[in-house]
A and B are shown apart, each in its own frame.
Chain A
Amino acid sequence: MSRAGFRSVALGVAWRQIHNFIFNPAFLVPSLIFPLFFFAAFAGGLSTVSKVPSFNFPTGYTAFQFVFVVLQSAAFGGVFSGFSVARDFETGFARRFMLTAPNRAAIIVGYSMAALTRALLTWSLLIVVALIAGMKIDGNGVDLFGLFGLALIVNIGASLWSTGVAMRIRSIQGGPLMQIPVFLLLFMAPVYVPLPLLSGWIHAVASVNPTTALLQAGRGFISGNPTGVLVAFGAAIGLALVFAFWARGGLRRAEAAS
């Protein structure tokens, strides 16, 4: 199959997903509104947490939580693409896709491109709201590029994870299996306070959770003091590669079943 053929399949799948997302309020509204509510609830409702003794993040609690919400919306934006895959299998549309696409890996790429577009829309809205809310950014343009670059890789990784699940289960009933591991990975990290302020089992789990590295690097970027950048990008790229193989395996299963 030519490179142009691969590209046209990927773009076709992506365009359909993006069109469905933009013109269906049931898809558009939750993915735009939810990150904003999380941001409001965490940055607004928990801003007093910055007064906890030894809490030290000079850029402010709004920026501290902004990084988490960006990474969370990246991950869940990716997970939603698994829902689309599952729905397409339930309606039989995915099987027609598979009949027409000579290289079916392009289908996965198309879903991932749509997930990325969704995440970019969400982040645009999120950053506008955060700036209106008075969020401080001490990092420069390169730092912000690093933060959103990290989020972009997380989005691709989550998209590949959920696509792999959806292609194995081929039903929307697999939704909890796509979401819960991502939810646990995200929340078993230093979400509300920095890692040194966590104690007990959550500290032990957060210390080995790759999300901690992502959060710490992201918070370093926004405060203009990048730390653990290589570890964070290594973890994000490593997960994305593992999930690429996972998604490819899912595609093989779906091909065998159809």
Chain B
Amino acid sequence: MSSVLFTQIGHVARRSVVRTLRQPAQIVPSLVFPMMLLAINASGLQRVTKIPGFPTNSFVTFALAIPFMQGALFSVMNAGTDLARDIETGFLNRLALTPLRGAALLIGLLAGALVLGVVQAICFLLVGLAAGASFAAGMPGVLVLVALSMLITLGFGAIGLVAALRTGSGEAVQGLFPLLFVFLFLSSMNLPRNLIQTDWFRHVATYNPVSYLIEGIRSLLVTGWDGEALALGFGIAAAIAVLGMVAASAALKTRLVRT
């Protein structure tokens, strides 16, 4: 990669980060909403830990993985809506007249989502600790958790870019949010898969990649170092990120041809 590309990424990334940090409407809901749900679910479902075979006696530890996934879902909105706004206002057309490379644009655009992802991860960890959650994998586990969380944010942010480039509409990107939430709800977010009693739901959760992302994060909190869960978590997050970036790159080419 040439230094020119790095310079271009730096400029786009700086704009993306500043833009994200200047929009409390992007930051506040992505921090408050997951923590609110954590507080409600952790209290409401604490009794679930009494079910034989439940892996921990602290539901807040078990549920702490969920805010990380919800935070990643918000990255779809944030990255996608920002790019859609650039398309709607004609800024992307003006960028197309410059020598800016597509790769620099896409990577740079995700910088804002990634910075917000780091802020989210730190907040969720601190709130989790304050609420009494434990980290079975210790301090190194916290670092791995943040790394996995960043990779997931990158992957979902890329999906937001694809949606923005394909539709060119912020409203359409916002419309994706409920759909992605369905993936979260139909996963092993509230119970381990082996304890889900309803057959069809267990099958859906097993085929749902979000289950493995949550289980990867959760393994560091509840189990310690679980190689299989981590490999699946990192593998699926990396696959989503690669596929997302490839699709975003193709969509960018189509979008620029149209303009």
A residues near B (Cβ < 8 Å) are 26, 30, 34, 37-38, 40-41, 43-49, 51-53, 55, 176, 184, 187-188, 190-193, 197-202
Contacts and interface: CB of A to CB of B under 8 A. Distances in A.
A200 B58 CA distance: 14
Interface string B45-60: 1111011000000000
Interface stretch (B80-88, B189-197, B222-230, B237-245): B189-197
Interface residues of B, number: 27
Closest CB pairs A-B (n = 9): A202-B43, A44-B201, A41-B185, A44-B198, A48-B197, A47-B197, A52-B47, A192-B44, A187-B40
Nearest to A50: B197
Nearest to A188: B40
Contact of A201 (B37, B43, B182, B201): B43
A45 B186 contact: yes
B138 interface: no
A38 B175 CA distance: 17
A182 to B, nearest CB: 13
A202 B190 CA distance: 18
B178 interface: yes
A198 B44 contact: yes
Nearest to A202: B43
B90 interface: no
Q: Is the interface of A mostly helix, strand, loop or mixed?
A: helix
B47 A46 contact: no
A51 B51 contact: yes
B191 A199 contact: no
A44 B203 CA distance: 11
Interface of B: 29, 36-37, 40, 43-48, 50-51, 175, 178, 182, 185-186, 189-191, 195-198, 200-201, 205
Given A49-B48, A187-B40, A30 B178 contact: yes
A201 B44 CA distance: 10
- Identify which of B29, B185, B189, B205 gathers the most chain A CB atoms within 10 Å of its CB: B185
A100 B198 CA distance: 54
Contacts of A53: 47, 50
A46 B198 CA distance: 8
A200 B197 contact: no
Contacts of B196: 44-45, 47-48
Contacts of B50: 52-53
Given A30-B178, A44-B198, A193 B190 contact: no
Contacts of A51: 51, 197
Contacts of B182: 37
A52 B195 CA distance: 12
A191 B198 CA distance: 19
Nearest to A62: B198
A41 B50 CA distance: 21
A47 B198 contact: yes
A176 B30 CA distance: 13
A46 B43 contact: no
A192 B37 CA distance: 13
Nearest to B43: A202
A109 to B, nearest CB: 29
A48 B44 contact: no
B191 A48 contact: yes
Nearest to B198: A44
B201 A40 contact: yes
B201 A45 contact: yes
A195 B29 CA distance: 29
Contacts of B205: 45
B185 A46 contact: no
- Identify which of B37, B48, B205 gathers the most chain A CB atoms within 10 Å of its CB: B48
A74 B51 CA distance: 32
B50 to A, nearest CB: 6
Nearest to A186: B40
B51 A48 contact: yes
Contact of B200 (A44, A52, A199, A200): A44
Nearest to A189: B44
Contacts of A37: 182, 185-186
Contacts of B178: 30, 34
